[in-house]
């Protein structure tokens, strides 16, 4: 029988998937040994396992590998749904001597899987690191649906997310624009000043990831300085490292919205309806 195996990164999403698809969640024990090592046991027979687990933070990666191994010992088919593909940002060699983390992760995961589902991986070419079939889901349209009627213009904080702003604006029937960001370090970004017609307008800033919140903070500063009215902030994957959410709210955001690829208080839009047809 087909069953969902809910990784500890995604309990709410797994429940939503069960409710939509009728595929039951398997009885699985996931514990920690006193030394911190992970233990998993699938407590029932499964023929087709659908594992839902992020590859972030690191401990979820080990949990995923163990769940895959346990499933492999009983199930004929394993689908792995990775709502947030951690390690996806190191998708090429930026400086000699580096590892390509996104590729290494793919090689390890595909050892015990027949199929992979990814949600907005940082770059689409990540799917080519797998030698098994990969479905890519784009959650931009459901984020856009959430903001329909609330926003006059969509802005991406960098050129890399311009395609998201464009797609969201098409769905909402409004304008879009993008800012130009330069990353100085993991924690620091600068944004090139850009004149936009924002006076009194309601703005949505959209990106794929919020990590430290530095990118959003700089974007908000610039947008606020140009007289914007309400500033909504949205992303697919809300990592919220440190006090990223406070940083964003203090900079002047009226609302933060993310999907449930990483579950938090800001996960106001579920990707379950997008994953359901694929499982
Ligand atoms: C970078 O290319 C991503 O699209 C995000 O802009 C970035 O990960 C955001 O990071 P932070 O919140 O730390 O500025």
Number of structural domains the chain divides into: 2
Distance (Å, whole) CA 234 – CA 256: 6
Based on the fold, state whether residues 36 and 121 are members of the same structural domain: yes
Assigned domain for 267 exists: no
Q: CATH no. for residue 206?
A: 3.40.50.2020
Assigned domain for 120 exists: yes
Cβ count near 251 (within 10 Å): 18
**Predicted confidence pLDDT, tens digits, the chain (279 residues):** 999 999 999 999 999 999 999 999 999 999 999 999 999 999 999 999 999 999 999 999 999 999 999 999 999 999 999 999 999 999 999 999 999 999 999 999 999 999 999 999 999 999 999 999 999 999 999 999 999 999 999 999 999 999 999 999 999 999 999 999 999 988 889 999 899 999 999 999 999 999 999 999 999 999 999 999 999 999 999 999 999 999 999 999 999 999 999 999 999 999 999 999 999
Which sign does the torsion angle of CA 54, 262, 142, 219 carry?
A: negative
Separate counts of helices (H) and strands (E) for the chain: 8, 15
CA of 21 to the centre of ligand 1 (A): 33
Q: Which atom of ligand 1 is nearest to the CA of 158?
A: 6
Q: 156 CB under 6 A from ligand 1? A: no
In the DSSP assignment, the letter for residue 215 is H
Q: 210 CB under 6 A from ligand 1? A: yes
Based on the fold, state whether residues 157 and 240 are members of the same structural domain: yes
CA of 251 to the centre of ligand 1 (A): 16
Region of residue 97 (phi > 0: left; psi between -120 and 50: alpha; otherwise: beta): left
Determine whether 181 is an active site residue.
Answer: yes
Q: Which residue segment(s) compose the domain that 56 sits in?
A: 2-138+272-278
Distance (Å, whole) CA 185 – CA 164: 24
Assigned domain for 204 exists: yes
Assigned domain for 205 exists: yes
Q: Which atom of ligand 1 is nearest to the CA of 212?
A: 13
Question: Is-above-0.85 flag for pTM?
Answer: yes
């Amino acid at each position: 029988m087909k069953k969902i195996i809910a990784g500890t990164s995604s309990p709410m999403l797994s429940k939503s998937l069960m409710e939509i698809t009728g595929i039951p969640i398997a009885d699985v024990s996931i514990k920690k040994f006193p030394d911190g090592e992970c233990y998993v046991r699938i407590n029932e027979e499964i023929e087709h396992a659908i594992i839902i687990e992020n590859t972030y933070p690191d401990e979820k990666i080990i949990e995923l590998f163990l769940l895959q191994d346990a499933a492999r010992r009983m199930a004929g088919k394993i689908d792995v749904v990775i709502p947030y593909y951690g390690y996806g940002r190191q998708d090429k060699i930026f400086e000699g001597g580096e590892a390509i983390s996104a590729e290494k992760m793919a090689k390890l995961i595909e050892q015990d899987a027949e199929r992979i589902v990814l949600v907005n991986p940082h770059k689409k070419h990540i799917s080519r690191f797998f030698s098994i079939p990969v479905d890519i889901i784009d959650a931009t349209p459901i984020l856009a649906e959430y903001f329909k009627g609330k926003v006059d213009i969509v802005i991406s904080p960098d050129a890399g997310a311009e395609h998201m702003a464009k797609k969201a604006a098409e769905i909402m029937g409004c304008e879009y624009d993008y800012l130009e960001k330069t990353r100085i370090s993991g924690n620091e970004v600068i944004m090139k000043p850009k004149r936009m017609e924002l006076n009194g307008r309601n703005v949505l800033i959209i990106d794929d990831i919020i990590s430290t919140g530095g990118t959003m903070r700089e974007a908000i500063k610039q947008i606020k300085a140009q007289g914007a009215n309400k500033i909504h902030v949205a992303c697919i994957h809300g990592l919220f490292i440190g006090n990223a959410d406070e940083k964003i709210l203090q900079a002047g955001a009226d609302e933060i919205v993310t999907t449930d690829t990483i579950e938090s208080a800001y996960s106001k839009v579920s990707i379950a309806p997008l994953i359901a047809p694929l499982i």
